Structure 1
């Protein structure tokens, strides 16, 4: 399900999205057939799920006669979990650098439509998909008429992430969420292609092919475009 509002940009369903991750996390995804969603206040960005300055000032005025109004937003972040995906028609060298280590990573190529179809509808948690909008937190307003909106806005300094998010609000489940939760996922619908790290050695590439065969998956595995031979 999409998060919809005139102030939120929704990506087209054929938009290509990527997730860059280490082999261990990729194998966990395949073996468990579950997608990890991180607790929103565990992200590196300390502003995650908070409001811009104009919105915060508005919230303070509202909460003068209703202190619980502000308390709700302060505690809300620990109940929201997120899976982040990168929008790009092509591979991103920067994403390889940020999210993989030791040249032993993989990238999952998918689409927004595949994300939608891969989410198990009868799953325990209700998921929403939305594209992040990057704004000036000192000047621009973040709407608060929907509980998901604070998690669909980030500061302009994070524009390079070009992010689409799967979001769940787990408040009604009364869970003690540590780092995050795993949600059931249809792996075959989720993954369109797999790309192997451009700086990986041959033994690692062979290992990936062998693992996919032994686990019974027949995903299309691509050599990174960044590894193309130099033509002189």
Structure 2
């Protein structure tokens, strides 16, 4: 269930366009099971995920001098927070195609912030929050810790190109043992507005995606990315 927390920043306009770039196997998994995979926060490539900047860490160390459990909580909390990452952009991103899809066999889901909010199924057991990532200097800038989600909504400035917005859930109270992540129920027709096929893909691949989507019972607008379209001169 999507929960609106006024302390967590997100774009004001629900029509803000967001993207998810993924390979075909993950796309089929999404449609087949109608569930969105959320990765365990400490399994991301960035080792700083869910950690604090130096100024914040120094303050937490002082606070935990007489209460070591306070620091231990933040160290173990990362295992219980799961995240689905999306990219904010009015247009396609060449960089995102390069980073998140293999060779020429990938797809991009186009959606909006409002669609993400509505797609999170109300009956779900886990509370879901949506927040925009802030990019800061981890050696100089402070990350507030009055909200347990804040460490997961800050990243180093070197990741600014990601322009990330996240669906986040804390499953600590559910006493789960999470391996790489977990899947949550979503309204697939709501979360997907349009599908773009990799700009370097061939026609057979586009036809395959169209047929797969049809056989799985969906009717999305599908088109090939025009980032590699013929030049006009």
Query: After TM superposition, is the score higher than 0.5?
Result: yes
Q: 1:163 is matched with which residue?
A: 164
Corresponding residue to 1:4 among 6, 19, 29: 6
Deviations 1:176-228 (A, max 9, x none): 00000000000000000000000001111111111122222110012202032
Aligned with 1:9: secondary structure? coil
3-state DSSP of counterpart to 1:123: coil
Equivalent pair of 1:91/1:225 in contact (CA under 8 Å): no
What displacement does 1:13 show? 1.3
Please state how far the C-alpha of 1:102 moved relative to its aligned partner: 2.1
Contact 1:39–1:179 (Cα < 8 Å) also in 2: yes
Residue 69 of structure 1 corresponds to 70
- How many residue pairs get aligned? The number is 230
Matches within 5 A, 1:205-216: 205-216=206-217
Alignment-derived partner of residue 132 in structure 1: 133
* Distance in 1 separating the partners of 2:208 and 2:166: 30
Checking the alignment, whether the CA contact within 8 Å between 1:10 and 1:131 is kept in structure 2 is: yes
**SS at 2:227 equivalent:** helix
The TM-score normalised by the length of structure 2 is 0.97
The runs of at least 4 consecutive aligned structure 1 residues that moved more than 3 Å come to none
Q: Distance in 2 between matches of 1:170 and 1:213?
A: 34
CA deviation vs aligned residue, 1:49-100 (integer Å, no higher than 9, x gap): 0000000000011001111100100000000000000000000011011111
When the two structures are superposed, what TM-score results if normalisation uses the length of structure 1? 0.97
1:12-67 CA-partner distances (Å, limit 9, x unpaired): 21110000000010000000000000000000000000000000000011001111
Q: In structure 1, what is the equivalent of residue 50 of structure 2?
A: 49
Q: Deviations over 1:149-202 (max 9, x none)?
A: 000000000000000000000000000000000000000000000000000011
Indicate the residue corresponding to 2:15 in structure 1: 14
Secondary structure, in 3 states, of the residue corresponding to 1:227?
coil
Q: Distance in 2 between matches of 1:3 and 1:152?
A: 13
Residue pairs, 1:91-102, within 5 angstroms: 91-102=92-103
Gaps of 5+ in 2: none
Partner of 1:122: 123
